[in-house]
């Protein structure tokens, strides 16, 4: 990993430690991405994340458009480390073995959150065939009129 990525990762987990970011007195502090993701989902379910303070950017052009709180359905269900489903062999080859960090399935939308701390912008090399492009294809195939943000 590049030094900047290692520094960002250390900063995030260091901040989690200073804020005592844990679910209960017995759980250890998060030291890896899945642990952090699971805590984010738990804290979301408890209403402890101020999504209104997290900026949301459009994909094209990359400009701030809103806050993340507009993404989530109040009656949606949020999952950590969610394996993307596939209906056909073609879809299986695209995203069947991919695990999204966070997915919220609401009555009128699917929201996918990918944490890129500790890795490159997109796993798999290119912007058109890498992990994030595959996630976009999944969302496009999951909705009649998808809106993509980053």
* Token duo for residue 40: 């984010």
Please check whether residue 150 lies inside any domain of the structure. no
Torsion, Cα of 45, 36, 78, 140 (10° steps)? 150
If one counts the domains in the chain, the total is: 1
pLDDT in tens, 67-106: 888 888 888 899 998 887 777 788 777 776 778 888 888 8
Question: How far apart are the C-alpha atoms of 24 and 1, rounded to whole Å?
Answer: 31
Which pLDDT score, from 0 to 100, does residue 22 have?
76
- On whether residue 130 sits in a domain, the answer given is yes
Residue in this structure with the two tokens 């969610």, named with its chain if needed: 82
Report if residue 87 sits inside a domain: yes
Length reported for the chain = 150
Range of the domain at 105: 3-142
Specify if 25 maps to a domain. yes
Q: Is residue 148 part of a domain?
A: no
Say what the pTM is.
0.68
């Amino acid at each position: 990993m590049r030094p900047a990525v290692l520094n960002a990762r250390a900063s995030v987990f260091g901040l989690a430690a200073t804020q005592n970011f844990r679910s209960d007195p017995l759980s250890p502090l998060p030291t890896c991405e899945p642990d952090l993701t699971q805590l984010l989902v738990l804290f979301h379910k408890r209403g402890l994340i101020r999504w209104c303070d997290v900026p949301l950017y459009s994909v094209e052009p990359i400009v701030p458009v809103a806050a993340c709180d507009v993404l989530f359905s109040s009656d949606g269900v949020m999952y950590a480390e969610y394996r993307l489903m596939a209906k056909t062999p073609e879809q299986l080859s695209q995203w069947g073995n991919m695990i999204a960090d966070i997915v919220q399935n609401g009555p009128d939308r699917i929201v996918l959150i990918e944490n890129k701390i500790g890795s490159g912008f997109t796993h798999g090399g290119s912007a058109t065939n890498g992990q994030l492009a595959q996630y976009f294809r999944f969302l496009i195939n999951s909705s009649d009129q998808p809106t993509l943000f980053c």
